[in-house]
């Protein structure tokens, strides 16, 4: 078995065990393999091991891989998980299948302008800065009014479909220390669901290599895992 195959097997076992602990069905948890910095050959190897969702954080780097893998059947679902620069909005709108990193109303409006002429509907997640860290993007979790106002404005954009929330938890020493952040995210998404009954806020994208089992225990429906699958990045 290749290194990639055995690491992937380990990750899948860990996902299964976390679901068992939480009494959840593993089918509720989508594994996004974060392939940033890795080649298209590596992406294809993971695809052949059954991975269908990949995450990238830079439009230009993703573009080459998305084109190279465009004929696969079943197709790959490409997740944009990084900050979308203004001048890359149109490319991102054309390339990705879901944008997890909507961190400003202005970005949502620019996406809408790029999507409308081509008639493409884009699932999006609203990024939350759950730890209130200045180094991270996203709506601060404790500015609830601003967040609600932002969602109201994004929800009217007819080519965007808000599916839920995404976050990157602060780096902690023990995975368990991230639990309160994940729990706060789950509470937030259920509050928002009550406030916006017309939206279907079913997705909670949280959990990475260092903390995904805890995120799953706390309700993650999407985990974004890079190093645990592909090894460390250069
Ligand atoms: C790189 C990255 C990941 C994956 O991180 P690992 O620690 O390698 O699992 C997940 N989410 C985002 C937004 C990232 O940029």
CB 209 within 8 A of CB 228: yes
57, 96, 216, best to mutate for ligand 1 pocket (most atoms within 8 Å of CB): 57
The answer, yes or no, to whether any atom of ligand 1 lies below 6 A from the CB of 36, is yes
Atom from ligand 1 closest to the CA of residue 82? 13
pLDDT score of 104: 98
4, 34, 56, 229, best to mutate for ligand 1 pocket (most atoms within 8 Å of CB): 34
pLDDT score of 234: 86
pTM of the model: 0.98
Give buried/exposed letters for 9-44 (b at 16+ CB in 10 A, else e): eebeebbeebbeebebeeeebbbbbbbbebeeebbb
Token digits of residue 46:
């993971």
- Rounded average pLDDT over 6-19: 98
Exposed/middle/buried for residue 180 (C-beta within 10 Å: 0-12, 13-18, 19+) = middle
Nearest Cα residue to atom 7 of ligand 1: 209
* Res 144 pLDDT > 90: yes
- Rounded average pLDDT over 63-72: 98
CB 229 within 8 A of CB 37: no
CA 149 to chain centre: 22
The answer, yes or no, to whether any atom of ligand 1 lies below 6 A from the CB of 81, is yes
pLDDT score of 141: 97
> How far is the C-alpha of 115 from the C-alpha of 215, rounded, in Å?
32
The answer, yes or no, to whether any atom of ligand 1 lies below 6 A from the CB of 34, is yes
* Res 229 pLDDT > 90: yes
Instruction: Read off the pLDDT of residues 148-181 as tens digits, 9 standing for 90 and up.
Output: 999 999 999 999 999 999 999 999 999 999 999 9
The CA-atom distances, in angstroms, between 233 and each of 21, 24, 65, 173, 230 are 30, 31, 17, 20, 8
């Amino acid at each position: 078995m290749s290194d990639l195959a055995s690491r992937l097997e380990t990750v899948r076992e860990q996902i299964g065990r976390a679901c068992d602990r939480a009494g959840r069905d593993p089918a509720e948890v989508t594994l996004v393999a974060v392939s940033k910095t890795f080649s298209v050959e590596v992406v294809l190897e993971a695809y052949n091991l059954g991975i269908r969702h990949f995450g990238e954080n830079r439009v230009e780097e993703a573009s080459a891989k998305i084109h190279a893998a465009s004929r696969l059947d079943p197709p790959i679902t490409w997740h944009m998980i990084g900050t979308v620069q203004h001048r890359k909005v149109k490319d991102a709108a054309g390339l990705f299948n879901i944008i997890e990193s909507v961190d400003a109303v202005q970005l949502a409006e620019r996406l809408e302008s790029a999507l409308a002429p081509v008639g493409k509907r884009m699932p999006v997640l609203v990024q939350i800065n759950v730890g209130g860290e200045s180094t991270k993007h996203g709506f601060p979790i404790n500015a609830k009014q601003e967040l609600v106002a932002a969602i109201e404005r994004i929800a009217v954009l007819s080519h965007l479909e808000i599916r839920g929330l995404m976050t990157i938890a602060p780096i902690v020493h023990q995975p368990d220390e991230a639990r309160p952040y994940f729990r706060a995210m789950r509470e937030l998404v259920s509050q928002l669901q009550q406030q916006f009954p017309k939206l279907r806020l079913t997705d909670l994208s949280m959990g990475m290599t260092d903390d995904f089992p805890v995120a799953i225990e706390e309700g993650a429906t999407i985990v974004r895992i890079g190093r645990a699958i592909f090894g460390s990045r250069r």
